[in-house]
Amino acid sequence: MARSARPVPPDDPEADAPEWWRRSARLRTIPLVAVVVIAIVLLRAGQGPSYPAIAKNCTTPSFVMSTSKTPAHRLVQWTATGPAKLRFVLGVGVSGYVRSGSHFAPIPDAGVRRLDALTSAPQTMGKGCVSHGQFSLITPGTFNVRMFEITGPQSSETVTQVATRQITVTSS
């Protein structure tokens, strides 16, 4: 039994077209919708990580983290502020640093294994008085995250704590 054709409105510009062509008009919009969705996904992916906001302060060093509690193996973003050209390092589970030859070695907090103590590479605050970064923690527990200022000439640098926060890492 053949299907009967749907009635064609008199003002339809494709009234003379076969019915299968008129039905396919809805299918022709699918590629357009797919292009829009893919463009949105690509734009979102290209934005990169969203660092936490901080009130810019070009005199007093400070930092904020994207969270104070995170599952293990997740990235935690941070934003630091302070004077332009401030040299600093962030330490997770680090109570301080001791000079070891030409560089500083981290001293883990009490109860923190040396493997779990993390330290960022030394950084210099930019002209905008703001810097960003991220880290990932593996071992569950509560850790102090400290910002240390590096001062003095390279031959006799000192490292001084200027800000601290806490983070709790849960099992994945």
State the pTM of this model: 0.70
- Rounded CA-CA distance 6/20 in Å is 11
| Total number of domains constituting the chain | 2
Residue 134, domain extent? 62-170
Same domain, 11 and 70: no
pLDDT of 2 > 70? The answer is no
Same domain, 157 and 79: yes
Neighbouring CB atoms inside 10 A of 15's CB total: 10
Q: What confidence tier does 164 reach under pLDDT thresholds 50, 70, 90?
A: very high
Same domain, 29 and 84: no
pLDDT of residue 109: 94
Same domain, 154 and 82: yes
Full strand arrangement of the beta sheet holding 130-136:
62-65, 75-81, 130-136
pLDDT of residue 80: 96
Most confident by average pLDDT, 5-9, 92-96, 153-157 = 92-96
Q: Which two tokens stand for residue 136?
A: 């990932």
Same domain, 146 and 71: yes
What residue type is 81 in one-letter code? T
Same domain, 17 and 69: no
Grouping H, G, I as helix, E, B as strand and the rest as coil, residue 147 is strand
Task: Determine, yes or no, domain membership for 55.
Answer: no
Q: What is the mean pLDDT of residues 115-139?
A: 90
Name the average pLDDT for the chain.
85
Same domain, 82 and 112: yes
- Rounded CA-CA distance 57/61 in Å is 7
Q: What confidence tier does 37 reach under pLDDT thresholds 50, 70, 90?
A: confident
pLDDT of residue 63: 96
